[in-house]
Amino acid sequence: MTASVDFLEILVTSATVVATIAPVVLIALWVIDARNGRLW
């Protein structure tokens, strides 16, 4: 069974979108923690 081009596109695009969001999530969490004095 061969993966279709759609399968490949959905797999890779969704992974890349999540990975693109990931650093934004990390920085947002940092800002929230820093504001609440809970970084450390």
Contacts with other proteins, residue ranges (CB under 8 A) = 1-5, 8-9, 11-16, 18-20, 22-23, 25-27, 29-30, 32-34, 38-40
Q: Enter the tokens of residue 17.
A: 């979108």
For residue 35, the minimal CB distance to other proteins (Å) is: 11
Q: Sort residue 4 into left (φ over 0), alpha (ψ -120 to 50) or beta.
A: beta
Contact predicate 30/39, CB 8 Å: yes
For residue 36, the minimal CB distance to other proteins (Å) is: 8
